[in-house]
Amino acid sequence: MARERATALLLDLDGVLRRFDPEVAAGVEREYGLADGVLSEIAMQWGRLQPVLTGQISHADWMSSVADALTEPAGGPDRARAAVEQWQRYRGEVDTEVLDFVREVRAAGIRVGLATNATDLLDADLAALDLADEVDVVVNSSTLGVHKPSPEYFQAACVAVRTAPARVLFVDDEDWAIRGARAAGLSAHRWGGHADLRYLRAALDY
């Protein structure tokens, strides 16, 4: 049995609408004598990451814990804090081709929401990137208190776009998020790059 046509779009932020140049972190690591990839490796440790994604701690507290973990390899607490602050000043870049697609979709009368695992810095990031008015709703895990791929997250996201799960198309660059969305009854597509836009336009049929 064919699925109903999607009438709302939920889009991940990082890896889809926003991208980060890995050379920025690499440059900080070289400058401070840190191992390649250590900034992200420490920040993304689940025990450190999960509390900030569910709003239990702030983005600032999260980064403080990263700096604490880097004290020895960076050569002291001051250098560790400086390295993390320099890394965090870069807030990524908007993928303009994806943004153009979002504008197309909204112009066709389809509601678009950002569905992201994020921290309390998200609103400031969206403002800095001029994205705050580019979507209809923002579904931030740290505000909800639950994160992707939990069914509760996707239920809340569908409520936010005022659309039943069966009529929502979700796009993310992570397999685990795609699986969670499908289990919650949404259509879901794993983002692989700009070549996917043709498929997404067809799926939304606007």
Query: At 2, is the pLDDT very low, low, confident or very high (cuts 50, 70, 90)?
Result: low
Q: Is the pLDDT assigned to residue 165 strictly greater than 50?
A: yes
Q: Is the pLDDT assigned to residue 15 strictly greater than 50?
A: yes
Query: At 4, is the pLDDT very low, low, confident or very high (cuts 50, 70, 90)?
Result: confident
Closest CA to 189 of 104, 201, 44: 201
How much is the average pLDDT of 19-44?
97
Asked if 48 and 42 count as a contact pair (C-beta separation under 8 A), the reply is yes
Q: Is the pLDDT assigned to residue 39 strictly greater than 50?
A: yes
Nearest 5°: phi and psi at 78?
A: -65, -45
Query: At 1, is the pLDDT very low, low, confident or very high (cuts 50, 70, 90)?
Result: very low
Count CB-CB contacts under 10 A for residue 9. 27
Map the chain to HEC letters. CCCCCCCEEEECCECCCEECCHHHHHHHHHHCCCCCCHHHHHHCCHHHHHHHHCCCCCHHHHHHHHHHHCHHHHCCHHHHHHHHHHHHCCCCEECHHHHHHHHHHHHCCCEEEEEECCCCCHHHHHHHCCCCCCCCEEEEHHHHCCCCCCHHHHHHHHHHCCCCHHHEEEEECCHHHHHHHHHCCCEEEECCCHHHHHHHHHHHCC
What pLDDT digit, counting tens, does each position of 123-155 carry? 999 999 999 999 999 999 999 999 999 999 999
Of the CA atoms within 13 Å of residue 64, those in its CB half-sphere come to 6
- Location of structure tokens 């740290």: 142
User: In this structure, what token pair is assigned to residue 68?
Assistant: 């604490």
Query: At 53, is the pLDDT very low, low, confident or very high (cuts 50, 70, 90)?
Result: very high
pLDDT at 3: 64
Specify the length of the chain in residues: 206
